[in-house]
Amino acid sequence: MSISFKYEYGGIPLVTISNRHASAVISLNGGHVMEYVRHGEPPVLWMSHNSCLEMGKPIRGGIPVCWPWFGAHPTNKNMPAHGFARICRWEIERAEEINPDISTVMLSLTEKQVPKQFAASPFHLMMTISIGAELEISLKIMNTGKKTLKYSGALHTYFNISEIRKIKITGLEGIPYYDALAGENGMDSTPIKFKSEFDCVYFDKGDPCVIHDPQYKRRIVITKSGSLSSVVWNPWVAKSKRLQDFGDLDYHTMVCVETANARQDSRTLKPGKSHTITSKIFAENYE
């Protein structure tokens, strides 16, 4: 078992973890889980080889922390997509080995670490990352100011898959969704399968969903709390070519299933109040 600290990719501070079950890499740039790999198995998380790995720049892949807004800023087009939390330097509060099976890292971010151009209201984010046979990320949002704090966000998880055309996602059947590409609402009674660009926000009840990957012979089970919306995304061919930090063929081996507080699931915190959103990821192998 080990927990170590190092600087890579031109000076990004990283936390690396290895224990009985898995290894992980966490970047303090964005409080970003970049890698989670169970020993002897394909990576659970996907990372773009074209990602810009510089302090203050968003990382493509892994688990970006989108906060305090999801997608485009609601009023200012000059603001970066998905908020500022993913481009700020987070601080380490604690890193420890709970037992031979579980390692935990706790990170924090406050308005004092946010560049002044964002004019951030007072807040305190505490993120606890537990690495073991499963990966659990818990993000606690605290309103430390004197005014109401309104926000949206997501744990924008990129999953590593064998081939997008061969997987399916279950658990969101019969759930109403907003299709961001068509600009309309919908509902389907069948599992999600992919044959073109996909970008939908599902307004679920917090139930688990599962990525079925027959080529890798595994199921990735995503359970959550503090979230009543899930985002499913794949850029497909044309958008992959437009994204600078995305390889033209990368869409084949990734899919995003995001634990979110998005659209009508956006949250409002009164002064002194908090909300916690948690995502738990378990890769289950089968023959």
Q: Can you count the helices (H) and strands (E) in the chain?
A: 1, 22
- Interval 145-172: pLDDT, tens: 999 999 999 999 999 999 999 999 999 9
Active site residue 258: yes
Tokens of 235: 């850029």
- Domains of the chain by start residue, with CATH: 2-285 (2.70.98.10)
Report yes or no: 105 and 17 within 8 Å, Cβ to Cβ. yes
Question: What pLDDT score does 198 carry?
Answer: 99
Question: What pLDDT score does 9 carry?
Answer: 76
Q: Which amino acid, 33?
A: V
How large is the average pLDDT for residues 232-248?
Answer: 96
How large is the average pLDDT for residues 229-256?
Answer: 97
Question: What pLDDT score does 92 carry?
Answer: 97
Angle 69-72-76 from CA coordinates, rounded to 5°: 95
Selecting among 258, 275, 284, 287, the annotated active-site residue is 258
Selecting among 156, 173, 184, 284, the annotated active-site residue is 156
Question: What pLDDT score does 286 carry?
Answer: 87
Query: Whole-prediction pTM value?
Result: 0.97
- Interval 99-146: pLDDT, tens: 999 999 999 999 999 999 998 999 999 999 999 999 999 999 999 999
